[in-house]
């Protein structure tokens, strides 16, 4: 079957520490992945994407790593801030505008 899932439903980190959110996918033919952030009461917000011909991509304070061998995706957030508290979803774009979301990880920041 095809699915995009997450290893852990919740993650708590200390403010200032780095956060790592993981995602597993099962469709080896998938070639494009997106990380979204969803704050309470809001719609998902694009964070960063990565294509399958890459294994790493960096943005502002965020890095996405793709390991196609084990079909694993991760989002690293550097120097986590209170504003990073949210649910993070990995999503797989299957082409033809079909975007499938994983289960999500709730990130909580401890002061």
Chain positions contacting other proteins, by CB under 8 A: 31-32, 34, 36, 41-46, 49, 51, 89, 93, 95-104
Shortest spacing between CB 76 and other proteins, in angstroms: 19
Closer residue to other proteins, CB minimum distance, 1 or 41: 41
Shortest spacing between CB 73 and other proteins, in angstroms: 15
Closer residue to other proteins, CB minimum distance, 96 or 111: 96
User: Scanning the structure block, which residue is given the tokens 């993070």?
Assistant: 88
d(CA 85, CA 11): 10
CA-wise closest residue to 80 among 11, 34, 3:
11
CA-wise closest residue to 24 among 78, 66, 76, 85:
66
């Amino acid at each position: 079957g095809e699915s995009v899932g997450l290893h852990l439903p919740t993650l708590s980190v200390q403010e200032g520490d780095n956060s790592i959110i993981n995602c597993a996918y099962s469709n080896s033919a998938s070639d494009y992945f997106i990380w979204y952030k969803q704050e309470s009461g809001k719609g998902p917000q694009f964070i960063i994407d990565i294509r399958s011909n890459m294994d790493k991509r960096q943005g502002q304070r965020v890095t996405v790593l793709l390991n196609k061998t084990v079909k694993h995706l991760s989002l690293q957030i550097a120097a986590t801030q209170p504003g990073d508290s949210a649910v993070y979803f990995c999503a797989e774009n299957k082409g033809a505008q079909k975007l499938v979301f994983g289960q999500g990880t709730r990130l909580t920041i401890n002061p």
